Amino acid sequence: MSTRILDGTAIAAEIKAELKSQVEALGYTPGLTVILIGEDPASAIYVRNKVKACEELGIRSVEIRPETTITTEELLAMIDELNEDDSVDGILVQLPLPKHVDTKKVLDAVAPEKDVDGFHPVNVGRLSTGQDSLTPCTPTGVIEILKRSGIATEGAEAVVIGRSDIVGKPVAMMLTAANATVTICHGRTKNLAEHTRRADILVVAIGKAGFVTADMVKPGAVLIDVGINRVSDAAEVNRFFGDDAKRMETYAKRGSVVMGDIAPQAFAVSSAYTPVPGGVGALTIAMLMHNTVKAAKLRRAAK
């Protein structure tokens, strides 16, 4: 049986090209502002790629990098100002926030019509009741990969590992809307492998390098790897990539490799999978661009 690599970079390029012509037709420049606090490596990758994509598409991109000592109140004031600023179409607050900040309060403060992350309760509610909304970028990207790769969700057994508000929960919601039969697994799930082995489509978003192994996967399943992990331990790198000359070269050069939550040995038994990097992450960026354009159109048309 052959295994297909689902090329997120190529699919994202297709979407960005579609968006680019939409932006050119607008007659104004959409604006996206990101608030990034601290040194989370996944967030740093996200911001770097976001800046690049905005440049490509003609979207104005602004980064605000407050000190890690910023208080919840100061952050709320900052968001208020962005809510009022007519040149700002999208606001994204990078997670995780420092421990002393009240994350829920902060996310709830973002105006729903500027909430390009789709994290505001109004948008979560709209998604769960099937109303048009700004939807979370990573889950929307997962659905977009499946669609554009011709992978049917209708009646499929879909298993999601992870129940975060950012990925696990919304992706399960969207798969349900796409007529898959969905199981959500998490840290308290018993006999995890019994669930995962039933999956026609397995979505993994836990944040543990190579956690899903070949014995947990039904041969021929479609694997969607959301995880982004940096691995530097030599034995671990060897276990996953010992026979992958290119990755071993990267490791020799940089002292670490970036990989997802699924072991390469598990990819080998699948019918199709998203690689890390070059899979879901690339779509997250494309969907952020999509949401920014959508937010700009909706808000400016409403005035």
Ligand X SMILES: NC(=O)C1=CN([C@@H]2O[C@H](COP(=O)(O)OP(=O)(O)OC[C@H]3O[C@@H](n4cnc5c(N)ncnc54)[C@H](OP(=O)(O)O)[C@@H]3O)[C@@H](O)[C@H]2O)C=CC1
Residues marked as catalytic: 50, 94, 117
Q: Among the residues of 116-167, which ranges form H helices? A: 121-128, 137-148
The reply to whether 232 sits in an annotated binding site is no
Decide: residue 270, CB within 10 A, 0-12 exposed, 13-18 middle, 19+ buried. Answer: buried
Q: Is 196 among the residues that bind ligand X (CB under 6 A)?
A: no
Q: Is 137 among the residues that bind Mg ion (CB under 5 A)?
A: yes
Phi–psi pair at 160, nearest 5 degrees: -110, 125
Residues recorded for the chain: 303
Beta carbon of residue 136, minimum distance to ligand X (angstroms, whole number): 9
The reply to whether 162 sits in an annotated binding site is yes
Nearest to 111 by CA among 139, 60, 136, 76: 76
Which stretch, 87-95, 176-184, 216-224, 243-251, contacts ligand GUE (CB under 6 A)? 87-95
Choice between 119 and 241, CB closer to Mg ion: 119
Nearest to 259 by CA among 278, 284, 242, 234: 278
Number of amino acids touching ligand X (CB under 6 A): 26
Q: Is 170 among the residues that bind ligand X (CB under 6 A)?
A: no
The reply to whether 58 sits in an annotated binding site is no
Nearest to 18 by CA among 274, 284, 302, 287: 287
Number of amino acids touching ligand GUE (CB under 6 A): 21
Contact residues for Mg ion, defined by CB under 5 A: 117, 136-138
Could you list the residues known to form a binding site, using ranges.
162-164, 228
Contact residues for ligand GUE, defined by CB under 6 A: 42-43, 45-46, 49, 92-95, 117, 137-138, 228, 258, 276-278, 281-282, 284-285
